[in-house]
Structure 1
């Protein structure tokens, strides 16, 4: 039996094949622990979800965009009065979506 290694897919093809997916799938999901570029799943049943969890979208926005409200750079959590927020500001979502387009 011969085992063949698959040829690597060119990045240009990979980009067009993933174009229909939500850009938040580029990061791992902190809620269901789905790996990057894999769909989110329900933790009890393992059923794949058509849209990413809100926590994943928040993690994606934090990883890719600067926040116009609290003036932090990517990978730095949003804050209010020196305390970290649980989610990102709405303006950061808009910045992330604009940069993904």
Structure 2
């Protein structure tokens, strides 16, 4: 007996099925190493979390939005006094959330 995987799901259906997820799931989590489109998890127990780690939200905002505070384009880390920040400015995160909504 042969098992068929079936046809791949069309992207427009996949988008609507993921609509209830946080948009930050589109990028891998730098904290727990969860792959894109998978939930974050605790590193010790592996328990899945209902919300993404703040580091993942920051990485997502960096890839999707320009920062109105330090005037950098997507993919460029936020900076303060010439030094790159580990997270993004709050205004950049708000800009990314507004764009995703």
What range describes the TM-score normalised by the shorter chain of this pair?
over 0.9
Matched residue count: 101
CA offset at residue 12 of structure 1?
1.1
TM, length-normalised to structure 1: 0.96
Q: Distance in 1 between matches of 2:69 and 2:16?
A: 33
Q: Distance in 2 between matches of 1:16 and 1:87?
A: 29
Q: Deviations over 1:49-75 (max 9, x none)?
A: 000000000000001000000000000
Structure 2 residue ranges without an equivalent (≥5): none
TM, length-normalised to structure 2: 0.96
Aligned twin of 2:28: 28
Aligned twin of 1:50: 50
Aligned twin of 1:91: 91
CA offset at residue 90 of structure 1?
0.7
- 4+ long deviations beyond 3 Å: none
Please, what is the CA RMSD of the aligned residues? 0.8
